[in-house]
Amino acid sequence: MGQIINGKEVALKIKDEIKEFVAARKEKKLAAPKIASILVGNDGGSIYYMSSQEKVATSLGVEFLKVTLSESCNAEEVINEIHKLNEDNSVQGIILQLPLPDKFDEKKIIKEISPNKDIDCLTFESQGKLYMGEPRFLPCTPNSVVTLIKSLNIDITGKNVVVLGRSNIVGKPVAQLLLNENATVTICHSKTKNLKEVCKSADILVVAIGKPKFIDESYVNENSVVIDVGTSSFEGKITGDVDFDKVIDKCSLLTPVPGGVGALTTTLLIKNACEALKENEY
């Protein structure tokens, strides 16, 4: 039977580091990190995610400011709020909850976030720095993938890594982070030929396509390390892109959903805010 990769355990170690950082600042009577999260409208997923972010942040001693705007507001009002937070020296990180309501041009609004506070790595400048190999902040979900792999004491150098999915949020940036670790990376997608064969050849398979239980035992080999980034609602439960029950006995290591990549994401987001505070002491 394959081994389950416990994202919660890895997250706990990073949370302890954040707590120590915050406690050391308080001992010196310095301000704690502060994150501002902007929610426009009432998207259920965004409300849940914001609540989760607040819960984790406050448990670690990090301040969390919620900025909520009605769906009836206009783009100028959202941008004005972003500009206020850009200029607020007490705020180290700005999170814009996505998706925005359909009437908004997301790219236009995202670009107004200061790259110095873009802890979610959404702006063109942040993404450009990532692909140039000089990131200010690492995007949290892709970084969760790499952090989990490293927690297993796996040397990524030279490994054959297959990334299934080419989104700008996960697929492309996680491929870049793995390239930075000297892996040999193949990106697969809906037009890839011989998909099963390509995936089965991987030392490490990262799946991020948003199709519940898409990957079964025919996509993996007995030595595969499988990282499931998917989170979909399936039969009333949060389910990954990997059919866990079918794959766990046919691979070496596998992340569960929930309890794998997602368990780390918010923690790494907060860690980014701590790093911003270290670099920009006001």
Tell me how far apart the alpha carbons of residues 82 and 110 are, in angstroms, rounded to a whole number: 9
Structure tokens at 81: 């709020």
Give the list of residues 6+ apart from residue 78 with CB closer than 8 angstroms, or none.
38, 40, 69, 100, 104, 109
Tell me the DSSP string of 45-83.
Answer: HHHHHHHHHHHHHHHTT-EEEEEEE-TT--HHHHHHHHH
CB under 8 Å to 197, separation ≥6 — which residues?
none
Q: In angstroms, rounded to a whole number, what is the distance separating the alpha carbons of residues 86 and 162?
A: 38
Q: Is 25 annotated as a binding residue?
A: no
185 strand-pairing partners = 161
Tokens of 148: 């989990």
166 is in an annotated binding site: yes
233 is known to lie in a ligand binding site: no
165 is in an annotated binding site: yes
What are 103's two structure tokens? 């009437």
For residue 246, the one-letter residue type is K
Q: How many CB atoms lie within 10 A of CB 274?
A: 22
In angstroms, the CA 205 to CA 164 distance is 8
Known binding-site residues for NADP(+) equal 165-167, 231
- Write out the binding residues: 165-167, 231
